[in-house]
Amino acid sequence: MVHPARGNRSGTLVNALLYHIGSGPVRFDEEDDLPEDDEIGLSMVSTGPTEAKLEAPRPGIVHRLDKDTTGLIVVAKDDVTHTGLARQFEHRTIARTYLAIVWGVPDPPRGRIEAAIGRDPRDRQRMAVVPEDRGKRAVTHYEVVETLPAAALVRFKLETGRTHQIRVHARHIGHPVLGDPTYGGRTIRYGPHTPRRKAFYDQLFARLTRQALHAHTLGFRHPRTGEWLEFEAPLPEDMARALEQLRQDPL
């Protein structure tokens, strides 16, 4: 989890950041109770309760990653930086790509998905592709990087930034993210359902306990210096190991 919310008060990125800078936990009931930035050591822009009686301290947080998605995230240490980064995200001038392992091989191998996203009417804990008048515009670009026997390594680029966007759009085109427990990625979707393959994937999912989604690159202009900065996080061990196994899928 990126920041504390109801049911997840500890173990979040914000908790880790506050510990890293030697700050105590941030707690408040009203926006007037917000501490000064220099008391925290991280920007407090755009923080505060998001609903009645809910503490939602989010010091330094400019954007989020889904829980269990690995990779790059940028955190602001002061208000000027926070505001500048937030503006770049709003204007979509941030350059970021994701790598995911998906079931099957998308055809065509490169494309654009445009489909509105909103709450799933059958399960409010999930998101879904919905009619335009019931959701928010969402656009995702994709490109197949490697074709596997029953899956593919795909690079995704977000044009918009909706909740669970890549995972929802991947499922929408029939290629859910491998290992995704929320959007149908933990059952065999392509190829025969033989005992051998079931055992193969049981073993794979015993080690890949999350969606195979990774924030791979992140580029932005430094809010103070104007310098273009670009970062890359290598594929994490669990996804790299899954790729090696998937190349040996006993179809």
Q: What is the CA radius of gyration of the chain?
A: 20
State the distance between the two ends of the chain, measured CA to CA, in whole angstroms: 36
Nearest to 98 by CA among 218, 242, 246, 237: 218
Active site members: 66
What does the block give as tokens for 61? 């947080």
What CA–CA distance (Å, rounded) separates 83 from 3? 18
Sign, CA dihedral 134-135-136-137, equals: negative
Q: Which residues contact 217 (CB under 8 A, 6 or more apart)?
A: 72, 95, 96, 97, 230, 231, 232, 233
What CA–CA distance (Å, rounded) separates 152 from 246? 9
